[in-house]
Structure 1
């Protein structure tokens, strides 16, 4: 039985709870840690009422009653928590982003490799049916050579009303704005679908609707891949998803693949468009099952250290591009 400790028990952990319940019998939450003890107690009550409660992850790791951790902290704390967990020999599932700087990423990589632990990044949308099947089709060659890709994740935060951003509103604790937060989703989807190394990035960012947010509330980014394919992604807290846009869209020499959620389309160059209604799958459940699979088998995660660092390089390159008004080589 794999013993899991929750590091950070705020709002996003509510989305992890169904996944933690789905692996009962293979894994169990034995510890919950949060600076707000009531948060930790609430998450324990939802997963295992007998879980030990902590307010400091260092104490939790020292007690040594967990084999793995599920980290869901403010962005600026990710690096310290991941490194401490790795150095304690614990496997790690971390919420996005992996961290906020490339220097932190190097520190994480060194700790993970030195201690031989598994690190999985919580890229939940790649465990949803449409993006997952699209990636499979692309890697099987259904589109042939890829030309163009597009991914989107936008919503109007607060419904147009003022938002109390908390730590997300500060550059020092968030590492940026929407691009490094919600924008993480379309970035990892773009990279996963492209199945090629990103080599150049250019991005334009803005803050349209959230004056109390220090960072961006919208970003549009273009990425060139080593394969020659070009991808674009759009993310926003300042407006809804543009009408007519899909969560994912890929164009290649044999046609197009596009869709969202549980629905995926294949449009060949000739012939009828195929519509595929897929079995619904909660991405958070999928990623946690996969994390447990990897711990049990020793396999490397589909969305692991390499993927987390690569996504970060694209996003930070995008920020540099916007500041310098230039294309950035990754």
Structure 2
């Protein structure tokens, strides 16, 4: 045996023993069989890997499988290429022959084939788990499970102690099924209901409403509007009412919040769309939410014009009642 082969075998053996001691499974290749050869006496075989395998097989608690492999070369007979099916069958025989040669060398192990395009034998090994090792692993897992249960019990106790604090802040208690009621980045809602306004001078508007809100954290940008599908007959003609509103809504808790915004409303003739009076104002109020229903009473400060007179800024009130379609359907 050449000096370089001996050195390589010693190095492979050292690495292999380190691997066996650190791992529970591994793969070793015995390569460079000559084409068509299955004998372990083949001069082209990788002697260093074979010597390392000899050392590996001294470990008695290993399960080993020898998977023969071929280079899938085409076969010829009397100068003619053999049919591919016959050629592949001969290659399988060559694969099995190489695996069986190693099986016979050590008188133990399983035999099979692999279709990796390498001329050699793939040795797959793993350590057997002894009953004592299995019991140790089960004991360790049981201890870890007990520690995890203790941590969960402590967490449940901490959550229970937080309930009075959350109740004092008007927040729902924490449970295993608590859902984040306020998305941290972006959401939206669609609401429908009624909206009304009344000024201290006696002028009023009432209309169905539809609102679209864009939510960022607990604050919403709200665009709301509506027009009456009905009309009132007057001496000047049939009149209807409409409004638009743009504002902000901030929910401090799930059921309570605050609003502020600007609005503009009209009373107009349905035949010509000319207004009989219009108002522009500001409003600020609160939001009371219960389930899918939302109530929004607010104070207003507005200025109104009519076809008969013009009045200055006066205090008034608005009231909105709506249903959140996102939660209702």
TM-score normalised to structure 2 length: 0.23
Higher relative contact order (CA 8 A, sep 6+): 1
Which protein shows a greater Rg?
2
Task: Flag the structure with higher strand content.
Answer: 2
Q: Which has the higher helix share?
A: 1
